[in-house]
A and B are shown apart, each in its own frame.
Chain A
Amino acid sequence: MPEAVAVADRATSQTSPTSPDRATLLEIYRRTVLINRTDERFRQLLMTGKLQIVYYPVRGQEVLSAAMMTALKPDDYLVTTYRGVHDQLAKGIPSKLLWAECAGRSTGTCKGKGGPMHITHPETGVMVTTGVVGSGLPIANGLALASQNRGDGKVTVVSFGDGATNIGAFHEAMNMAQLWKLPVIFLCQNNLFGEHTAYAAHTSVPSIVDRAASYGMKGVKTDGNDPVAMYETAKAAVDRARAGEGPTLIEAMTFRMLGHLFGADFSYVPKELTEAGIANDPVPRFRNRLLEMQVTESELAALEAKVEAEIDEAVEFALASPFPDVSELRIDVVKQELAA
């Protein structure tokens, strides 16, 4: 079992060119809180029966995603997975649209036709959310290929879990990306479990990042729960990709504090691991760190209140929105409806 959070916190005083400044750290924190409170609200609504959807909790992985996406530009591309609410919010999908889509409403990003596992929002660069483990990597290569051909300077990030690194598409995509020096970042959010199977029982190498070497690719292992380390790693990979230096595999260590699927038993997770994960909860840890940096309590409280209000409004909007009309069934199958 690899260590969840063994990569030590780095001092914020570190001043590498990729270190986040105060404003950047606060922005990472805002996104962290947005993810954290959204995840919490989803679970509340599911428990009270106000919402009935398949939901994959992101509790514990907030900081990782917030830091990664803060290192991107708004028009950079993202491909993510069914456990993607953190990525989608961090990339900038407005809460209202995301909530409405997850609730299957016509006002959602995809008119209610995608749902939580298939969120798309090109305006914020979220090009694909896939429900098929590992299948996003080859698609990310294509987005990056388009940027390379066009010279538009965009970077593509594809997010996936540790379990995804064992499907063939991972290996095919890694090889092709390095071969063609594509501006793509392979972001493995190693939360130590592929569905219900622990890392050591599903992967033959001690670290995912070891696999980068097989393709001659740059690989970096980092503490995804440390906002500074994660941001520095992300920023360095983004800079490399934008400079035409090719792809990076990032293995960001994190911990999935809840089960694979909301409501499912996760007693397969060893008790001591869960306890250690909760003790190292990255969200309060981040907050305390900001307070140590002379960010004031009232500054943080104001930020948090604003986020709460945004979520309140989004939930209200989603639940008040209509379901899509049945006529939508035959729309968007192809551009023009042809006799099938």
Chain B
Amino acid sequence: MSTQDQTMTAPAPAPAKVAKISFVEGLHMALDEAMGADENVIALGEDVGDAQGGGVFKITKGLSTKYGVNRVRATPISEQAIIGAAVGAALVGMRPVAEIMLMNFVTVAMDQIVNHAAKLRFMSGGQTHVPLVIRTTTGVGVGFGGQHSDMLEAWFAHVPGLKVVMASNPADAYGLLHSAIEDDDPVILIENILCYGIQGPAPTPGYRVPLGKAAITREGTDVSIISYGKAVLDALAVAERLAAEGVSVEVVDLRTIAPFDEATVLASVGKTGRAVIVHEAVKAYGTGAEMSSRIHEELFGQLHAPVQRVGGTYSPVPFSPALEKAWIHSQDQITAAVRRTLDWKKPR
């Protein structure tokens, strides 16, 4: 199910160049196609209209002109009202895609997300449901400092009823957003600002990334690196570096953080016997702790070494570039974690 599989299954009849798109284009294409296909799909968020510039990151550029300002609604700076309106519209069958400009601002709308979007299907005994997508962006390395950079996926993964997804390449961004819009439950799509510019193979029309399914992005036999989002790129770089030394690294791109694709992860770690989990969020109490625990619970006897975790520092994200660089995981840290699993001596 990896992107490589998807673009390589049909051998090109002519030596045509594989079309490349950016992450932003992948998201834009998916939203445009979904709005074109179903008038229940609406977009709302701060500055998303063309009169406001088509969104701070241009994901919605052109859409209000194409579909009208009733379907692409530029909102006041009112996160509770944005998510609340999206929840209400979703309850009666619309498919709102709400944009929360930066992930830290979801803190303002937590009541609507956690108490309402996540629970209304259950609390109504299945009479209503909330087919809502929340798109939000964040990332360390832009110099935004403490209040615009947090990865808060663990908060949402902890709430039953919410799905949390994160793409590592443009085609997956396209396929995941489509799947999220088509899903009948609330989905939070986290976009890393630093991924927006990356180019990758264009998806074929109709490409979907199923929710809840991880991808084996690179096969290997010695150690599994499990990751998602931009950190997958670091995992792939480390895998390449270690391949030169004869170490075979398998890279698992989760793509959906919750629900977590336990089967794929356990199969990979069952094969390699070693696991390193890498995420950008603060390591303490992060999603890596949950994954590590499950791997230990299921595969304890087959592990050659304890599961290693690499994540952000337990401090607010700092502003100074020197500190910000030190805050986030490095490829050297990932490499060192892999080596710890390889060099682990079981106590006698």
B83 touches A138 (CB 8 A): yes
The complex places the Cα of A141 from the Cα of B81 at a distance, in Å, of 8
Chain A residues whose C-beta falls within 8 Å of the C-beta of B92 in the assembled complex? 77, 127, 143, 146-147
B119 to chain A: closest residue by CB: A118
Tell me which residues across on chain A come within 8 A of B91, comparing CB atoms.
127-128, 139, 142-143
Query: Considering only CB atoms and an 8 Å cut-off, how many residues of chain B contact the other chain?
Result: 50
Q: Quick check: is B107 within 8 A (CB to CB) of the other chain?
A: no
Judged by DSSP, the binding face of A is mixed
State whether B262 touches A339 (Cβ < 8 A).
Answer: yes
Contact between B161 and A334, CB atoms less than 8 A apart:
yes
Q: How far is the CA of A333 from the CA of B84 in the complex (A)?
A: 20
Asked if A338 CB lies within 8 Å of chain B CBs, one says yes
Cα separation A323 to B41 with both chains bound (whole Å)? 38
- Chain B residue numbers with a CB within 8 Å of A122 are 127-128
What's the tally of chain A residues with a CB closer than 8 Å to chain B? 49
Given known A-B contacts A143-B88, A146-B92, A138 and B123 have beta carbons under 8 A apart: no
A137 close to B127 (CB less than 8 A): no
With A138-B81, A339-B260 as contacts: A333 and B87 at CB distance below 8 Å: no
Residue of A118, A149, A169, A173 near B94 (CB, 8 A) is A149
CB pair B116 A128 closer than 8 Å:
yes
Q: Give, as a whole number of angstroms, the nearest-CB distance from A104 to chain B.
A: 11
Query: Given the interface contacts A114-B124, A149-B42, does A141 sit within 8 Å of B88 by beta carbon?
Result: yes
Encoded as 1 (CB less than 8 Å from any A CB) or 0, chain B from 109 to 140 comes to 00110011000111111111100000000000
B279 cross-chain contacts in A, Cβ below 8 A: none
Q: Is the CB of B86 within 8 A of A132?
A: no
Residues of B within 8 A of A109 (CB): 124-125, 127
A201 within 8 A of B: no
Contact B116–A179 (Cβ < 8 Å): no
Is A145 positioned at the interface, with any CB of B under 8 Å from its CB?
yes
Chain A residue contacts of B78, Cβ below 8 A: 172, 175-176
- Which A residues fall within an 8 A CB radius of B? 77, 79, 108-114, 118, 120-122, 127-128, 130-132, 135, 137-149, 156, 168-169, 172-173, 175-176, 179-180, 331-335, 338-340
- A–B Cβ pairs within 8 angstroms, 21 of them: A79-B88, A110-B125, A132-B116, A135-B111, A139-B85, A140-B88, A141-B81, A142-B87, A142-B88, A143-B88, A143-B91, A145-B85, A168-B80, A169-B81, A176-B75, A332-B121, A332-B125, A333-B161, A334-B184, A334-B185, A340-B259
